[in-house]
Amino acid sequence: MRQNKANAANRQARLKQTPEKPATFAGATLMYAAQAFGLASCPMGGFDPDGVAREFALGPQEIPVMLLAVGHGEAGNWPPKPRRAVADALGLA
Ligand SMILES: Cc1cc2nc3c(=O)[nH]c(=O)nc-3n(C[C@H](O)[C@H](O)[C@H](O)COP(=O)(O)O)c2cc1C
């Protein structure tokens, strides 16, 4: 009985963590696809997951992990934030 409870808690914890990895790849792929169609996109992790689940009628096994806004980039929009050069952030071993 006690073991069953521990297993259920473990499964719940894994269920919460697991979707983030594939969702990140899916989100990046959608961003590339949007760009190929001439659209801009912006990922967001700061949202109310219960509100999203309610609005989209998600089931208990469906966990929203990211929102991706997609639309037409505005001319004269603010410039991208400064970033380190790719060569400073990535290395090949
Ligand atoms: C996974 C992920 C989640 C993000 N979540 C948020 C968010 O909840 N709110 C926010 O203001 N920016 C968020 N950002 C950052 C914006 O998507 C965007 O990259 C940032 O505002 C920098 O804009 P820029 O790409 O035009 O420089 C997130 C970025 C990533 C990669």
What are the residues facing 69 on neighbouring strands? 42
What separation in Å is there between the alpha carbon of 55 and the centre of ligand 1? 22
44 lines ligand 1 (CB under 6 A): yes
Q: Is 46 in the pocket of ligand 1 (CB under 6 A)?
A: yes
Phi and psi based region of residue 37 (left: phi greater than 0; alpha: psi -120 to 50; beta: remaining): alpha
The Cα–Cα gap between 75 and 42 comes to: 16
For 53-86, write each residue's pLDDT tens digit: 999 999 988 888 899 999 999 888 888 889 999 9
Give the whole-number percent of the chain exceeding pLDDT 70. Answer: 85
Domain ranges of the chain: 2-89
Question: Which of 32, 42, 52 for a ligand 1 pocket mutation test, highest count of atoms within 8 Å of Cβ?
Answer: 42
In sequence order, which residues have a C-beta less than 8 Å from that of residue 48 and are 6 or more positions away?
A: none
